[in-house]
Amino acid sequence: MVSPYPTKAVEVMNRKMTVVDVGEGEVVVLGHSYLWDAEMWRPQIEALSRSYRVIVPNLWGHGTSDDLPPGTGDMRDLGRHHLMLLDSLGIDRFALAGLSIGGMWGMEIACLAPERVTALALLDTSAGPEPELSREQYLGMFRIVEAAGRIPDEMIEAIVPLYFAPATLTAAPALPAILRAGLKTVSTRRLLDTIVPLGHILFGRRDLRPDLAHLRMPSLVMTGSEDIPRPVREGREIAEILRCQFIELPGAGHISALEVPDLVSTHLADFLHKALG
């Protein structure tokens, strides 16, 4: 997708993190999924930037951001990096909506600096550690990628269906085509320096559930009804811990922001209106 939104580069940890920064008003930060970029949020940027200043960072090694800074060891470090980004932009308080890994580093931010987070929306994500079986499967995939220096075609064809509901694969083939093309063209350097190390951070994440129980900001959790990597039960668990509303998004898989964009935008806009006034 060719973005209609310009990005700016901000220095964080002596690297450049690029970010979409559009609109005016109270700040809403959007965190995208692993293997996507800020473009994943395009429908919501369009909808929310009419009322808010919308900030959408490209995660390290995604979009036009630089590779992962040396010494980055865990999801909490990613949360700190995004706080540094917001500090550089002069942003003190903000609402945050994160999908998948964007929700994971978003929850770390909420735990690190709860006084700065005015509202928290979590989509298609998990607060617990990766289940052992799927963690070992993903780590095995990373070993294959490291040995090959690329993502083999047969692996790409196994990865793509994990991100979408079956109906999306058949009725909206442009979406899986975007992901497929991105996986085919990622460079060996970027794979080995950032994508695989980020994958180890993602699937080796800590259990955030005890810390979430202390949060008090307005919150919302949404999960696609057909999300494979982050099933509905994980979203319901987060909502129970945060004592907030849970919304199951019918017909959506893991990339709900693009699969049911109008529904996600409407729920986010309603939530932010109630939370921020």
Give the number of other CB atoms < 10 A from CB of residue 196: 19
Strand partners, 224: 249
Q: Which two tokens stand for residue 205?
A: 């994440």
Residue with tokens 């979590």: 122
DSSP state of 191: I
* Separation of alpha carbons 234 and 125, rounded Å: 7
pLDDT of residue 2: 53
pLDDT of residue 66: 98
3-state secondary structure 63-90: CCCCCCCCCCCCHHHHHHHHHHHHHHCC
Which contiguous run of DSSP H or E holds residue 8?
A: strand 7-12
Which residues of the chain fall below pLDDT 50? none
- Sequence length of the chain is 277
Span 68-82, pLDDT tens digits: 999 999 999 999 999
Among residues 223, 273, 233, 231, which one has the least CA distance to residue 98?
A: 223
Please report, for the chain, the start and end positions of each structural domain, with discontinuous segments joined by +. Answer: 7-129+204-276
Q: Which top CATH class is 7-129+204-276?
A: alpha beta
pLDDT of residue 241: 98
Residue with tokens 């009322």: 51
> Under a CB-based contact definition with an 8 Å cutoff, are residues 17 and 35 in contact?
no
> Under a CB-based contact definition with an 8 Å cutoff, are residues 152 and 158 in contact?
no
Give the number of other CB atoms < 10 A from CB of residue 14: 8
pLDDT of residue 4: 79
Span 179-199, pLDDT tens digits: 999 999 999 999 999 999 999
